[in-house]
């Protein structure tokens, strides 16, 4: 019994040790599984969009698309990169309204070094929840400029006061220096990135690599007064994917390119009308003209420029029809150059047609147009050389006496003919008309009589 008891006691102690070891192993395994199953927090995500040209209606569409994508993908913020000389005030206001109504913070950032956010771009910079600039950039010069005709003093003052009040409202909501910002409108002042920071127009001057780290943990006050803490450390910034329409319109929004498309398209359409059945020139020309008109539709058009272009085409057509010794053609060329330069009503050189573009297009277009028109008019005036009409005026010989009907030999063929007077066989005749298969002829004096 004693031996058995000792054996049982020893066996129980051993099993207890084994059980404890297994229990510890299971505990470690359970802890490892719990750690493994713990969800790993994904890095924050952001969407970026570039405003790198003139601000116009297509820019509004691009910004709205970027905001929609950011909201759909649950982005933490929208990064708007600015490098613009300015643009249309209506388009600028639409973009700022989109910023204000956005459910996610908007970071406006002037980049790259050497870039600027001038005029309307200054308003966009101040409209961001956080305004930042890269080293070597500038902003300001936001005095409103009229399109086309000059405004009178009263209207100019009204527009200036309206723009200044709008900018003060934006800066006050964002907690920035509205008094200094207003000088950009009243006095067209500009600021370097360091001046803008020192005068509390922006919050940060950093490179783009440093931007996310500088934003992390910053508390921003939204336009509606709510506060949001930014979590940007390690954020994945994805660029906004523009639609095909946005890509095409953005690419041809330059009025110089739009004018080039219109000119080439117009020549292609004329080629189709002058040589019906080719099809390809007509299709290509129609596409180019429509794309060019679509691009110009987002820009302010000066109707005097349109009238000069119409006058140019009219003068080209008259040059081909009348003998003006090139005067009408030269007038058409000058009218086309002036019309092209005046076509876009804008104070910004960036969205105007350049003199070099206008001249480079007008000279070859004028030469080609007058050449094609001249060839077409001459072709219509030339005598018909094929078909029945070609017989009129041909000289032949009477095979039989014509009294007045008989046979004649004309153009290597035998014809029935009726003469205006009786003619002997062998007489020379001239065809004056043709009806069916019968000619009407008249006598031709002999060479000796001539």
Q: Calculate the alpha carbon distances from 392 to 125, 408, 409, 416, 443 in Å.
A: 79, 14, 14, 14, 14
What pLDDT does residue 83 have?
94
Instruction: Give rounded-to-5 percent helix, strand, coil for the chain.
Output: 50, 20, 30
CA distance 34 to 49: 41
pTM of the predicted model, to two decimals? Answer: 0.66
Could you tell me if 237 and 79 are in contact, meaning their C-beta atoms sit under 8 angstroms apart?
Answer: yes
CA distance 31 to 34: 5
CA distance 365 to 371: 10
What pLDDT does residue 40 have?
47
Nearest-5° Cα angle at 223, 220 to 225: 70
Residues 364-394 as b or e (16 or more Cβ within 10 Å = b): ebbeebbebbeebeeeeeeeeeeeeeebeeb
Please give the structure tokens belonging to residue 64. 């709205």
What pLDDT does residue 10 have?
45
What pLDDT does residue 21 have?
59
Could you tell me if 136 and 116 are in contact, meaning their C-beta atoms sit under 8 angstroms apart?
Answer: no
- List 326's β-bridge partners, or say none: none
CA distance 213 to 197: 18
> Cβ neighbours of residue 192 under 8 Å, at least 6 residues apart?
137, 138
The radius of gyration of the chain's CA atoms, rounded to the nearest angstrom, is 41
Which has the closest alpha carbon to 242: 66, 416, 42? Answer: 66
Residues of the chain with pLDDT under 50: 1-11, 37-40, 448-450
What pLDDT does residue 122 have?
96
**Helix-helix angle 244-252:280-297, to 10 degrees:** 80
pLDDT digits (tens, 9 = 90+) for 146-162: 655 566 778 888 889 99
Nearest-5° Cα angle at 35, 34 to 40: 120
């Amino acid at each position: 019994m004693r031996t058995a008891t000792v054996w049982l006691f020893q066996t129980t102690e051993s099993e207890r040790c084994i059980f404890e070891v297994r229990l510890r192993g299971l505990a470690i395994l359970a802890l490892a599984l719990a750690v493994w199953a713990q969800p790993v927090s994904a890095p924050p995500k952001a969407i970026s969009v570039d405003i790198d040209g003139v601000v116009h209606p297509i820019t509004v569409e691009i910004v709205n698309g970027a905001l929609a994508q950011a909201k759909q993908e649950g982005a933490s913020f929208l990064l708007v990169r600015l490098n613009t000389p300015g643009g249309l005030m209506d388009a600028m206001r639409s973009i700022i309204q989109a910023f204000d109504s956005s459910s996610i913070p908007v970071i406006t950032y002037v980049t790259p070094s050497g870039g600027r956010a001038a005029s309307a771009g200054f308003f966009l910079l101040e409209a961001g929840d956080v305004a930042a600039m890269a080293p070597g950039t500038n902003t300001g010069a936001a005095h409103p400029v009229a399109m086309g005709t000059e405004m009178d003093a009263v209207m100019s003052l009204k527009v200036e006061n309206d723009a200044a009040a709008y900018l003060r409202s934006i800066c006050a909501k964002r907690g920035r220096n509205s008094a200094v910002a207003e000088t950009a409108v009243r006095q067209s002042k500009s600021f370097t990135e360091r001046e803008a920071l020192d005068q509390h127009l922006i919050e940060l001057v950093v490179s783009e690599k440093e931007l996310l780290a500088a934003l992390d943990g910053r508390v921003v006050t939204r336009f509606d007064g709510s506060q949001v803490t930014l979590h940007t450390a390690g954020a994945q910034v994805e660029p906004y994917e523009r639609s095909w329409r946005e890509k095409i319109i953005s690419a041809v929004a330059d009025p110089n390119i739009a004018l080039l498309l219109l000119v080439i398209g117009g020549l292609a359409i004329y080629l189709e009308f002058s040589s019906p059945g080719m099809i390809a020139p007509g299709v290509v020309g129609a596409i180019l003209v429509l794309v060019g008109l679509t691009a110009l539709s987002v820009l302010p058009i000066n109707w005097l420029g349109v009238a000069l272009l119409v006058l140019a085409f009219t003068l080209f057509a008259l040059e081909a029809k009348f003998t003006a010794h090139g005067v009408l053609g030269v007038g058409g060329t000058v009218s086309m150059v002036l019309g092209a330069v005046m076509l876009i009503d804008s104070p910004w050189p960036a969205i105007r047609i350049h003199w070099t573009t206008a001249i480079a297009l007008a000279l070859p277009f004028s030469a080609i147009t007058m050449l094609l028109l001249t060839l077409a008019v001459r072709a219509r005036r030339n005598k018909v050389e094929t078909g029945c009409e070609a017989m009129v005026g041909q000289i032949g010989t009477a095979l039989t006496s014509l009294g007045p009907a008989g046979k004649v030999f004309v153009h290597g063929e035998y014809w029935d003919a009726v003469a205006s007077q009786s003619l002997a066989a062998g007489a020379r005749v001239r065809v004056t008309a043709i009806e069916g298969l019968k000619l009407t002829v008249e006598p031709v004096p002999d060479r000796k009589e001539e």
